[in-house]
Structure 1
Amino acid sequence: MTLRGNSSLIVLAITYWLYFGQLGVLVPYLGIFLDGRGFSSADIGELFAVITLARILGPGLWAGVADKTGNAIGIMRLGCLLTVVTFSSVFYFSSFWGLTLSFGLMMMFWTAVLPQLEVITMNTVAKTSATYGQIRLWGSVGFICLTVMVGKALDLFSTESPVYVSVGVLAMLFVSTLFINAPAENASQENAVGSIWKFAKQRPFAVFIFASACLQISFGAFYGFFALYMRDLGYSGQQTGVFIALGVLAEVGIFLIARQLIDKFGVWNLLFASLLLTSMRWYLMAAFADYFVVIIISQLIHALSFGLTHAVSVHFIHQYLPKAYQSRGQAVYISIAFGLGGAFGNYMAGQQWSQGTNAYITFVTAAVFAAAGALSLLLCSKRSMNSAPQH
């Protein structure tokens, strides 16, 4: 394996394991935790939306500082430390607004981590024979391990299990960042030329962001209510964990071959195909979720819905933007797609779900947004998205 003997890559792999392992705890099970605290589906959707909004402001602020100071690692470490401190407050709050504050602050600091980690990883692997996908796949492995473990914990213990595990994982994440060995780079002179928006407003980048936002809107039903949906269909917490882990396991295979796929098919083709198949995935969940095999097929498509789209997106931003703007480019992607798109998707799904009675219409709506994202790619040429512009 390419990572063997390279301590920098190993530490990055561990950091990805912990970062996405934490997502494997909260993304599937936050709804169950909040349900256990007595919140309605509308409350859950609204809380998801409010805390997701924290992803709009945070990434740009953190990435701007990281790009201008050249100290991406310092920003990432500070974000990890403040994340675990603020998240610990969930043990002291029980009201809607108290938990919203807790999760919102946690998310604000959490957004300091990934853009910097992605840039550090891309710059580190550029000097080795490893690929981004070979490092990133360990995040998927972490997601699988912790999703299955917490799913079992929910069967054995209480709906509070996810938050107890989260505190431990976040603490270890902070420790892992202390061992990342990548020298801080000097701030680029390009910072004086203009802001990230001179690139973001160009058609290929703007279309990419819009399509990505549509994808994240479509994920609202899945992120907020998949675990509750499976419970309503009669599956145990452990089975739900296995379903989710299956989807992420498929991601691992995609990450191993993502670079080859990008080189062969290009950014535009892969995004278009992934968004169309994601639309089909949500419709299958809407109309045929009673069938076990449909859940399996749906979760396998997750390799494209999340894994391939993420690898392609990181590649696109890295090759489209000058080095001095890459952290901010990642931040724009996270802020608009995951922040605005995710918040709207979570809120809309929460309003539609109605304790599971409107599961069909909620997932059909998700399918429509994923299809809209695919169709939006027709607004720019394949060539403009597959090659870097003249800066």
Structure 2
Amino acid sequence: MVATQAAFSRGNLVMLSLTFFLYFGQLGVLVPYLGVFLDGRGFSSQEIGELFALITLMRIIGPNLFAAFADKSGKSLRILQFGAFLTFATFCSIFWLNSFWGLTVAFGLMMLFFTAIAPQTEVITLGSVRGDATKYSHVRLWGSIGFIVLTVLAGKLIDVFSSEAPIYISGAVLLGLFLVTLGLKEASASERTLTGGESIWKKVRTKVFIGFIVSSTLIQVSFGPYYGFFALYARDLAYTGQETGALIALGVAAEVIIFLLAGKLISRFGVKRTLLVSMLLTALRWHLLAVAAQHWPALVVSQMLHAFSFGLIHAASINFIHHYFGHQFRSQGQALYTSIGFGVGGAAGNFGAGLIWDQGQGAEIAFTIATVFALLGAGMVAFIPSRYMPK
């Protein structure tokens, strides 16, 4: 009972906010700048795309593995701490490796354990706020703030030092993340419904879930050129590292604002319409990057659309999973969303973008194809009957 009360305390919510800050801050360092780091190590755009794809595949294995343990044991916090420690430990090997396969294995192992962190943090947070969507959004937005702060910092340090700066920042952030998880509390198992004999596959095989997860996968495929090559693209267009960091931070700042409004928007328009409009705006975003990125106002608009292409899509997707899977399978439902949408979709998008990019010569066609995938995702959502989607 004492542990449960501690889980509901303001102090624990602060620690959860800091966990999100550091977790997404780490993504704010590696997602935009891993391509810059690898380019500095002499890798070609095809090799960068292949490495991105291979390490992204770990997002297929990891979430389901850790979620199954979490749902059966009810020990989400222990799995979170275990993942945070092994993420830091495996990341340290990157300081001594330089070959393609050495870095691929190191980043792959790091990503495998890194996938234990976000789903379990989401589950612990939802339990600690007793499912209150407004409180959840206020905790979760600190992840977006962390992304902004670390992205801007990393961009500046790349300008001042070198393309090696991201791995030094990441090492410090991952160590801090592990230390913070040691101070977290979670609600006792009696406060939650643990998995019984019923199988999750009964829910997974429905047309509504298949439509949802296919649309999520298509959207993540469309993110391939952006996640893998946006920083290099901006550099090719003569933007400095600091300017690139500011542009990425602008997108995440828009995401912070949308997180504050997401609960009301989803309640008013429903999950289906929220996803549909957000995916259409994502298609517009990639089209702007394809044809007008050399004009900074178009680039600013495209970054502001990140509020929809990531922020609102993610909020609506978590809302769908929260209601569709219920307490019993929520952790595994989030794992499926992460592993299939971000894992399969992200790997395919990164690999395809790497093949097309051609040292920046294929940028326009890469973002044009991304536009098509975003439109396909919107089309998939449009065909899901509204009566099956949460209101």
Structure 1 length normalisation: TM-score? 0.96
Cα shift at 1:184: 3.7
On the 8 A contact 2:213/2:341 being kept in 1, the answer is yes
Greater CA deviation, 39-48 or 174-183? Answer: 174-183
- 1:222-241: CA deviation from partner (whole Å, max 9, x where unpaired): 00000000000001000000
Q: Does 1:192 align with 2:197?
A: yes
On the 8 A contact 2:258/2:307 being kept in 1, the answer is yes
Which amino acid is the alignment partner of residue 33 of structure 1?
A: F
On the 8 A contact 1:276/1:370 being kept in 2, the answer is yes
Which amino acid is the alignment partner of residue 285 of structure 2?
A: R
Q: Secondary structure at the match of 1:248?
A: helix
Cα shift at 1:204: 1.5
On the 8 A contact 2:71/2:194 being kept in 1, the answer is no
- Distance in 2 separating the partners of 1:190 and 1:81: 26
On the 8 A contact 1:68/1:188 being kept in 2, the answer is no
- Distance in 2 separating the partners of 1:221 and 1:103: 19
Tell me: CA distance 1:361–1:129, structure 2 relative to 1, closer, same or farther (3 Å). closer
Cα shift at 1:364: 0.3
Cα shift at 1:127: 6.5
Aligned equivalent of 2:25, options 21, 39, 55? 21
Q: Secondary structure at the match of 1:191?
A: coil
Q: Does 1:287 align with 2:294?
A: no
Q: What does residue 223 of structure 2 align with?
A: 219
Q: What does residue 12 of structure 2 align with?
A: 8
Q: Does 1:70 align with 2:71?
A: no
Q: Does 1:339 align with 2:343?
A: yes
- 1:108-164: CA deviation from partner (whole Å, max 9, x where unpaired): 001111111111111211276952211111000000000000000000001110000
Q: Give structure 1 stretches of 5+ with no counterpart.
A: none
- Distance in 1 separating the partners of 2:334 and 2:32: 24
Q: Does 1:366 align with 2:361?
A: no
Tell me: CA distance 1:37–1:68, structure 2 relative to 1, closer, same or farther (3 Å). same
- Distance in 1 separating the partners of 2:135 and 2:209: 23
Structure 2 length normalisation: TM-score? 0.96
* Paired residues for 1:217-366 under 5 Å: 217-366=221-370
- Distance in 2 separating the partners of 1:128 and 1:303: 22
Q: Secondary structure at the match of 1:183?
A: coil
Q: State the aligned residue count.
A: 383
Tell me: CA distance 1:127–1:240, structure 2 relative to 1, closer, same or farther (3 Å). closer
On the 8 A contact 1:73/1:184 being kept in 2, the answer is no
Which amino acid is the alignment partner of residue 193 of structure 1?
A: E
Which amino acid is the alignment partner of residue 180 of structure 1?
A: L
- 1:232-267: CA deviation from partner (whole Å, max 9, x where unpaired): 000100000000000000011001111111110110
- Distance in 2 separating the partners of 1:104 and 1:197: 28
On the 8 A contact 2:119/2:331 being kept in 1, the answer is yes
RMSD: 1.4
On the 8 A contact 2:124/2:187 being kept in 1, the answer is no
Instruction: State the percentage of identical aligned residues.
Output: 52
Cα shift at 1:378: 2.3
- 1:346-387: CA deviation from partner (whole Å, max 9, x where unpaired): 000000000000111000000000000000012211120125
- Distance in 2 separating the partners of 1:161 and 1:287: 31
Q: What does residue 149 of structure 1 align with?
A: 153
Q: What does residue 182 of structure 1 align with?
A: 186
Runs ≥4 residues deviating over 6 A: none
* Paired residues for 1:11-90 under 5 Å: 11-90=15-94
Cα shift at 1:190: 4.0
- Distance in 2 separating the partners of 1:264 and 1:224: 35
Aligned equivalent of 1:210, options 211, 214, 228? 214
- Distance in 1 separating the partners of 2:24 and 2:309: 16
Q: Secondary structure at the match of 1:94?
A: coil
On the 8 A contact 1:84/1:106 being kept in 2, the answer is yes
On the 8 A contact 2:59/2:115 being kept in 1, the answer is yes
On the 8 A contact 2:222/2:370 being kept in 1, the answer is yes
- Distance in 2 separating the partners of 1:53 and 1:84: 19
Q: What does residue 167 of structure 2 align with?
A: 163
